C-alpha cells in the first residue's frame, strides 16, 4: 500500500513556488555600507581630517567594462536609484525605510563582475600620490561596509572572531588590497627625509597562484594591486605613497640585460616569475644579506631583491633593486 501511495504522489505535478528575495548573497548590504559611512565620520578627525569619502566600482573580470552600470537600493517595499559619477564612484543617503528593511545595493549586472571599494581622499595631496592615513581609513570603512568580495577565501588565515576592521587593518597579515590607476612597477613611501620601497610581496596581491584569482578582488586588476603597511605606525598618517608605473618611460640603465634570454643567461631562473594578462612579465631574484637580519613583522626573511620588467615582446622594460 505504501509503495502504491508513493507512486501516486510521484506522478503528481509538483507546484513551483517563487520566493522573492531582496538580496543575492553577493550583493552589498545597504545597512552595512551606511555603517561604513558612520565609521568614516567617527574616525575621520583622527586619521584623515581633510578627507571626503565615496564608494567606487572597479572592473573585476576579464573583458568587463563599467559603461552603462546602474545602481539602486532595493528593499521590500521601496527602492532608490543611486547616481554614479563618470569615474564610477557614488555615495549613499540614509533612508529609514530602506534601513529597517535591510535593503540591498544592486547593480544591473552580476555583482562578481565588479570590485567594490571605499575611497578616502584628502585635500592637498599631490596629484598621483596617496596619503597613508587615507588608506588606513579606507580599509576600516571598506571592512565595516562589507565591500570585500569572497572574503572567506581572501582572509582564510583569520577565524570569524578576528575578521574585524581593527584586526584586518592593523595586522601585518591583514591583506586588504588597494588598487592604483595603472599597472604598477613599484610603490615608495616617503615622510620627510625617510623613504622606503615596498617589497615585492606587497605588490600584485602577494603573487597568488592562478587558481586563487577567482577568489580575489584583484582578478583582472592584479597589475594594479598593492598592500600598504597600514599596521606600521612608524610611518605616520601624513606619509605619502608615490607610484612608478609599468608604462612610464624607463630610465636609462646599463645594469639591465636587454631581454628575457639575456636575463636567463646572466642570472639563471628567477625565484618568482609573474606573467600578466597584458603579456608583461615581472621576474624577481632574491639574495640573502651577508649577515642574518631579524625577520619582518609578518615573519618573512629579509632578502635583497632584483626585479626585472619585460614587455610582451620579451624586451627588458625596467629594472630595480631593493636592499634587504
Distance CA 53, CA 244 (A): 25
pTM: 0.86
Q: In this structure, is residue 17 part of a structural domain?
A: no
Do 103 and 201 lie in one domain? The reply is yes
Q: Residue 200 has what pLDDT? A: 96
Domain membership flag for residue 19? no
Q: Please report whether residue 173 resides in a domain.
A: yes
User: Is 294 found in the same domain as 213?
Assistant: no
- What does the pLDDT read at residue 160? 47
Q: Note down pLDDT in tens along the chain; length 324 residues.
A: 433 433 443 444 433 333 333 344 448 999 999 999 999 999 999 999 999 999 999 988 776 778 889 999 999 999 999 999 999 999 999 999 999 999 999 998 877 778 899 999 999 999 999 999 999 999 999 999 998 765 444 444 444 444 678 788 998 888 899 999 999 999 999 999 999 999 999 999 988 888 888 778 888 899 999 999 999 999 999 999 999 999 988 765 657 899 999 999 999 999 999 999 999 999 999 999 888 888 887 788 899 999 999 999 999 999 999 998
Same domain, 138 and 240: yes
Q: Which three cell numbers stand for residue 41?
A: 565620520
The backbone torsions φ and ψ at residue 216, rounded to the nearest 5 degrees and listed phi first, read: -120, 140
Task: Spell out the residues 6+ positions from residue 84 whose beta carbon is closer than 8 angstroms to its own.
Answer: 57, 69, 70, 71, 90
Q: Answer yes or no: is 55 within a domain.
A: yes
pLDDT in the model for residue 93:
97
Q: Is residue 5 part of a domain?
A: no
The number of helix segments (H) and strand segments (E) in the chain equals 7, 17
Angle between helices 30-47 and 132-145 (to 10 degrees): 160
Helix (H, G, I), strand (E, B) or coil at 310: strand
Q: How is residue 215 annotated by DSSP?
A: G
| Backbone φ, ψ for residue 145 (5° rounding) | -80, -5
What backbone torsions phi and psi does residue 147 show, to the nearest 5 degrees?
A: -90, -10
Question: Could you tell me the residue range of the domain that residue 303 belongs to?
Answer: 260-322
Looking at 245, 268, 303, which one is the last position of a domain?
A: 245
- Is 307 found in the same domain as 202? no
Residue 103 included in any domain = yes
Residue where a domain stops, chosen among 191, 213, 245: 245
Q: Reduce the DSSP state of residue 205 to 3 states and report it.
A: helix
Q: Which residue has the cell 545595493?
A: 105
Final residue of a domain: which of 192, 213, 245?
245
How many C-beta atoms surround the C-beta of residue 181 within 10 A?
10
Phi and psi (nearest 5°) for 95?
-125, 120
Inside any domain, residue 251? no
Looking at the structure, do residues 132 and 277 belong to the same domain, yes or no?
Answer: no
Say whether both 217 and 128 belong to one domain: yes
Contact 64, 51 (CB under 8 A): no
Residues 68, 177 within the same domain:
yes
Greatest alpha-carbon pair distance for the chain in Å reads 90
How many domains does the chain contain in total?
2
Q: Looking at the structure, tell me whether residues 68 and 195 fall in a common domain.
A: yes
- DSSP letters, 22-56, are S--TTSEEHHHHHHHHHHHHHHHHHH-TTEEEEEE
- Domain check: are 286 and 201 in the same one? no
Residue 59 falls inside a structural domain: yes
Q: Per-residue DSSP letters for 151-202?
A: HHHHTTTS-GGG-SHHHHTTSTT----EE-SS-EEEEEEEETTEEEEPPGGG
Amino acid at each position: 500500500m505504501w509503495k502504491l501511495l508513493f507512486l501516486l504522489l510521484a506522478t503528481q505535478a509538483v507546484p513551483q513556488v517563487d520566493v522573492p528575495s531582496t538580496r543575492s548573497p553577493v550583493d552589498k548590504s545597504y545597512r552595512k555600507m551606511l555603517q561604513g559611512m558612520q565609521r568614516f565620520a567617527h574616525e575621520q578627525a583622527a586619521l584623515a581630517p581633510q578627507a571626503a569619502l565615496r564608494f567606487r566600482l572597479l572592473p573585476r573580470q576579464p573583458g568587463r567594462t563599467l559603461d552603462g552600470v546602474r545602481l539602486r537600493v532595493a528593499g521590500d517595499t521601496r527602492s532608490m536609484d543611486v547616481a554614479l559619477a563618470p569615474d564610477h564612484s557614488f555615495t549613499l543617503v540614509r533612508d529609514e525605510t530602506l534601513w529597517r528593511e535591510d535593503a540591498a545595493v544592486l547593480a544591473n549586472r552580476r555583482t562578481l563582475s565588479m570590485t567594490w571599494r571605499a575611497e578616502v581622499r584628502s585635500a592637498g595631496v599631490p596629484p598621483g600620490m596617496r596619503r597613508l592615513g587615507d588608506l588606513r581609513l579606507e580599509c576600516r570603512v571598506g571592512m565595516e561596509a562589507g565591500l570585500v568580495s569572497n572574503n572567506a577565501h581572501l582572509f582564510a588565515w583569520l577565524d570569524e572572531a578576528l575578521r574585524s576592521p581593527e584586526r584586518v587593518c592593523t595586522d601585518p597579515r591583514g591583506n586588504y588590497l588597494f588598487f592604483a590607476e595603472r599597472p604598477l612597477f613599484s610603490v615608495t613611501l616617503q615622510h620627510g627625509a625617510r623613504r622606503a620601497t615596498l617589497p615585492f610581496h606587497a605588490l600584485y596581491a602577494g603573487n597568488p597562484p592562478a587558481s586563487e584569482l577567482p577568489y580575489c578582488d584583484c582578478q583582472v586588476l592584479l597589475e594594479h594591486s598593492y598592500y600598504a603597511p597600514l599596521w606600521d605606525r612608524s610611518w605616520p598618517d601624513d606619509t605619502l605613497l608615490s607610484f612608478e608605473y609599468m608604462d612610464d618611460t624607463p630610465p636609462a640603465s646599463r645594469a639591465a640585460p636587454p631581454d628575457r634570454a639575456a636575463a636567463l643567461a646572466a642570472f639563471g631562473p628567477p625565484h618568482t616569475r609573474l606573467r600578466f594578462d597584458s603579456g608583461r612579465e615581472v621576474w624577481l631574484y632574491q639574495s640573502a644579506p651577508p649577515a642574518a637580519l631579524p625577520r619582518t613583522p609578518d615573519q618573512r626573511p629579509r632578502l635583497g631583491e632584483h626585479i626585472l620588467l619585460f614587455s610582451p615582446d620579451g624586451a627588458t622594460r625596467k629594472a630595480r633593486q631593493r636592499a634587504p
